[in-house]
């Protein structure tokens, strides 16, 4: 809100600059309203979806907002098709690449070969773990009515991922590297949650 007030106070000497500036502000507002309408449509449709219970369970994880949970469920489907979390991580492209010749094994950056939408949603969600572990009011509301096993997995995940974020940052890792590592582990916790709550 403060940002919008600041933008509203901006003025330019030349009329053409002011017009272009205002057009850009209006375009941003239009896009925000369109996103709001789409979000409302998703909230209306998801309860009738076979993955509705899974979406609700995914939201037990910190950072897994409604939209992140919907994207993850839509892009991954039933996580039970992956036998292990590393298989899911590889599908998401969140594992390091590897080149080997003889006895030499060289690791490189993430493969990024997997599902881009789900990976991006997890990376965005992973940023929330830079803060200490806690259950906010918004998260508490999302936890209501969920099975104890799901709540336990989510809390264990939050404690581990917050601590890991601090450790990696203290070790001097760059923020994008830290967030990618957190997103990879977050996928494992979502995998565990997805095995507790089956689609209907």
Mean per-residue pLDDT, 2-22: 89
Mean per-residue pLDDT, 113-141: 93
What angle, rounded to 10 degrees, do the helices at 116-126 and 175-196 form?
A: 110
Quote the number of domains for the chain: 2
Mean per-residue pLDDT, 128-141: 95
Q: Give the pLDDT confidence of 38-77 residue by residue, as tens digits.
A: 999 999 999 999 999 999 999 999 999 999 999 999 999 9
In percent, the amount of the chain with pLDDT more than 70 equals: 93
Residue 1 has pLDDT above 90, yes or no: no
Q: Give the pLDDT confidence of 103-114 residue by residue, as tens digits.
A: 766 665 665 677
Q: Do both 17 and 87 map to the same domain? A: no
- Candidates 73, 62, 39; CA nearest to 199 is 73
Mean per-residue pLDDT, 84-93: 92
Q: Do both 54 and 118 map to the same domain? A: yes
Q: Which of 10, 28, 48 is the last residue of a domain?
A: 48
| C-alpha–C-alpha distance, residues 54 and 45, integer Å | 14
Res 114: pLDDT = 76
Res 78: pLDDT = 95
Q: Do both 100 and 120 map to the same domain? A: yes
Q: Do both 148 and 192 map to the same domain? A: yes
Task: Tell me what the pLDDT averaged over the chain comes to.
Answer: 91
Q: Do both 54 and 33 map to the same domain? A: no
Mean per-residue pLDDT, 144-172: 97
CA angle, 180 then 188 then 151, to 5°: 115
């Amino acid at each position: 809100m403060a940002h919008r007030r600041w933008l509203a106070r901006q003025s330019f000497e030349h009329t053409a600059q002011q017009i272009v500036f205002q057009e850009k502000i209006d375009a941003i507002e239009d896009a925000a309203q369109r996103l709001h309408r789409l979000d409302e449509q998703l909230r209306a449709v998801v309860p009738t979806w076979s993955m509705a219970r899974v979406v609700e369970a995914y939201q037990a994880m910190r950072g897994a907002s409604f939209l992140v949970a919907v994207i993850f469920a839509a892009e991954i489907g039933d996580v039970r098709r992956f036998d292990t979390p590393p298989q899911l991580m590889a599908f998401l492209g969140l594992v390091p690449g590897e080149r080997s010749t003889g006895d030499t094994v060289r690791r490189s950056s993430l493969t990024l070969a997997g599902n881009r939408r789900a990976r991006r949603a997890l990376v965005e969600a992973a940023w929330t773990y830079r803060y200490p572990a806690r259950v906010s009011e918004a998260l508490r509301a999302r936890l209501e009515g969920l099975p104890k096993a799901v709540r336990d997995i989510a809390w264990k995940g939050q404690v581990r991922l917050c601590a890991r974020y601090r450790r990696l940052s203290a070790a001097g890792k760059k923020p994008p590297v830290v967030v990618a590592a957190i997103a990879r582990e977050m996928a494992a916790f979502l995998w565990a949650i997805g095995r507790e709550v089956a689609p209907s």
